[in-house]
Amino acid sequence: MRISTDFELPTPTEMSAIDRAAVAEGIPFETLMERAGGAVADVVIRQAPVGAPILVLAGPGNNGGDAFVAARHLLEAGHPVSLLDLSGGQGTGAAAEARAAYTGPEVGAEDEFLDRAEVIVDGLFGGGLARDVTGVFADVIARLNRRHREVVAIDMPSGVDGATGLVRGIAIEARRTVTFQRRRPGHLLLPGRDFCGEVTVADLGMSDTAVGSALCQTFVNTPALWRDARPMLALAGHKYDRGHAVVVSGPMTATGAARMAAGAALRTGAGLVTVASPSEALLVNANHLTAVMLVRADGAEGIAEALADPRRNVVCLGPGLPADDETRAKVRAACASGASTVIDAGGLSAFAGDAAGLAAAIGPKGAVLTPHAGEFSRVFGKGLVDEAGRLEAARRAAVDVGAVVVLKGPDTVIAAPDGRAAITENAPPWLATAGAGDVLAGMITAFIAQGVPLFEAAAMGVWLHGDLAQRVGPALIATDLIANLRTARAAFDHV
């Protein structure tokens, strides 16, 4: 079994189109199903203790067909297998043929074998499920979840929506998931990711042309996605070639966030970084800054004046700023300048309940927004993520305001107005600490300063942020990220 490592994340609908393209290229669908079921059986054989009783669950559709094939392979390999067929005889074509080919033991939904089986192969539903699991299916899943045992899910744990990662009523808790050709968004998005366990991607022999025919717009946030857009130093270059970033400071009692963003921007490669500070905070900021420069900037007029120099090509504002009318005015001034804009924290919360106002402020040139879940809900509505899932919610927001949206979390989503989206999987749990988001905003700002397009700059910053946190390790605080950026940033140039 070959393992695929490509970074496209087709939705279940797009994966069906890829299946059809592979069939059109000459691979019979029966062959694809045979390879899929065989790959599942291979994983089970490697993981199952010798002699462990195995229960294979088969539901309607092609996922059930894969389960029938896996059950046959396990039986032929000499394993004690029993089949629970909940397909209701709905299988057609390849799935019906696979059902007919299995001749081993079978059990019913009430059979005691469900409690005795040590290994479960879950083929009830695939990733295309978009309705709640009910009836006998829900009863079986609930019964199986009560005991801690080895569950290998086919394609996606039953009950998890492969497009959104949302749980449809109830979902089976898998230790391993075997999917095919490419992962789906639901393998990376929470809460679905927690139900998948370790994910194996089996290569069914489909061509890159077949995969490309789906025109997938969702990707794993991995260096392969943006490697060619990384900024490279020229031997004869100078600091202004690497851009001049401006970070707007909060009032006297809230200056640290801006300084962390500024320090991160400088360490990530911006040629120059200036903190634009209100008069009341000048002395506080001056007492802490050395390599980062400082300029007075009072109110929206001060921001506009600070950005009048065209060499100051990107501005980050929001860290440490209050969510008030003055901050709204500063955001409008920043977006009206010639500089690219990164809006975080208070810069977003100042537009609570007013996504249209934020869109008007951003205008046609775009921006990067870096909300955590709370800030996102304040601006775009509390129910959007619950209703649509994080990926679709970020996409809708990106279109609505004409900006790249970085919806932060353990499964950070980066969405562009043109439909592209990337999902991040390298963020460790200890990255959830005060100030880490300010550091991220500064890192993204630095990549924009160096000429990287907005979507790629956001994706790079998020990936490097996760990689950096992994290098630092548990118990980190935000300033540890900046202190260790030199090593991580150097390695970034070679990933």
Q: How do residues 245-259 score in pLDDT, each as one tens digit?
A: 999 999 999 999 999
Report residue 1's pLDDT band, with 50, 70 and 90 as the boundaries: very low
Task: Work out the average pLDDT over 35-50.
Answer: 94
Q: Which two tokens stand for residue 98?
A: 């696979």
Residue 409 · residue 373 · CB < 8 Å: yes
pLDDT at 285 over 70: yes
pLDDT tens for 170-198 read 999 999 999 999 999 999 999 999 999 99
- Residues contributing to the annotated binding site for K(+): 63, 122, 158
Report residue 382's pLDDT band, with 50, 70 and 90 as the boundaries: confident
Report residue 129's pLDDT band, with 50, 70 and 90 as the boundaries: confident
Distance (Å, whole) CA 328 – CA 362: 11
**CA 387 from centroid of its chain's CA atoms:** 17
Which one of 138-152, 379-393, 452-466 scores highest in mean pLDDT? 452-466
pLDDT confidence of residue 91: 65
Task: Work out the average pLDDT over 291-318.
Answer: 97
Beta-carbon contacts of 272 under 8 Å, excluding residues fewer than 6 positions away, are 239, 240, 242, 243, 244, 245, 293
Beta-carbon contacts of 124 under 8 Å, excluding residues fewer than 6 positions away, are 57, 58, 59, 63, 64, 67, 86, 137, 140, 141, 158, 172
Percent of all residues in the chain with a pLDDT value above 90, rounded to a whole number: 91
Exposed, middle or buried: residue 129 (CB in 10 Å: 0-12, 13-18, 19+)?
buried
Mean pLDDT score of the chain: 95
pLDDT at 20 over 70: yes
Whose structure tokens read 């927001």?
A: 397
HSE of 24 in the Cβ direction (CA atoms, 13 Å)?
10
Distances (CA, A) of 469 to 193, 268, 361, 365, 370: 20, 14, 33, 32, 18
HSE of 155 in the Cβ direction (CA atoms, 13 Å)?
32
Distance (Å, whole) CA 367 – CA 386: 25
Report residue 301's pLDDT band, with 50, 70 and 90 as the boundaries: very high
Distance (Å, whole) CA 481 – CA 490: 14
Q: What are phi and psi of 62, to 5 degrees?
A: -70, -25
User: What does CATH list as the number for 12-214?
Assistant: 3.40.50.10260
pLDDT confidence of residue 90: 74
Name the residue ranges covered by the structural domains of the chain: 12-214, 223-492
Task: Work out the average pLDDT over 95-116.
Answer: 95
pLDDT at 321 over 80: yes
Q: What angle do CA 377, 347, 322 make, to 5 degrees?
A: 100
Distance (Å, whole) CA 226 – CA 180: 24
pLDDT at 476 over 60: yes
pLDDT tens for 419-435 read 999 999 999 999 999 99
Task: Work out the average pLDDT over 63-72.
Answer: 97
pLDDT at 489 over 90: yes
pLDDT at 40 over 70: yes
HSE of 431 in the Cβ direction (CA atoms, 13 Å)?
27
Distance (Å, whole) CA 398 – CA 418: 8
Domain 223-492 annotated CATH 3.40.50.2000: no
Q: Which two tokens stand for residue 133?
A: 């699991």
pLDDT at 460 over 70: yes
Other beta carbons within 10 angstroms of residue 493's beta carbon come to 11
Task: Work out the average pLDDT over 120-130.
Answer: 92
pLDDT at 132 over 70: yes
pLDDT confidence of residue 3: 43
Distance (Å, whole) CA 202 – CA 4: 6
Distance (Å, whole) CA 245 – CA 446: 7
Order across the sheet with 176-180: list the strands.
81-85, 54-58, 119-123, 150-154, 176-180, 198-202
Percent of all residues in the chain with a pLDDT value above 70, rounded to a whole number: 99
Distance (Å, whole) CA 48 – CA 50: 6
- Residues contributing to the annotated binding site for (6S)-NADPHX: 62-66, 126-132, 155, 257, 320, 372, 438
Phi-psi region of 36 (alpha: psi -120 to 50; beta: other; left: phi over 0): alpha
Distance (Å, whole) CA 334 – CA 300: 8
Distance (Å, whole) CA 244 – CA 212: 39
pLDDT at 236 over 90: no
| Dihedral sign (CA 337, 340, 345, 350) | positive
Distance (Å, whole) CA 466 – CA 410: 9
Report residue 4's pLDDT band, with 50, 70 and 90 as the boundaries: very low
pLDDT at 235 over 90: no
**CA 126 from centroid of its chain's CA atoms:** 20
Q: Which two tokens stand for residue 7?
A: 């970074």
User: Considering only CA atoms, which of 54, 336, 279, 11 is closest in space to residue 163?
Assistant: 11
Phi-psi region of 318 (alpha: psi -120 to 50; beta: other; left: phi over 0): left
Task: Work out the average pLDDT over 264-290.
Answer: 97
- Residues contributing to the annotated binding site for AMP: 408-412, 437
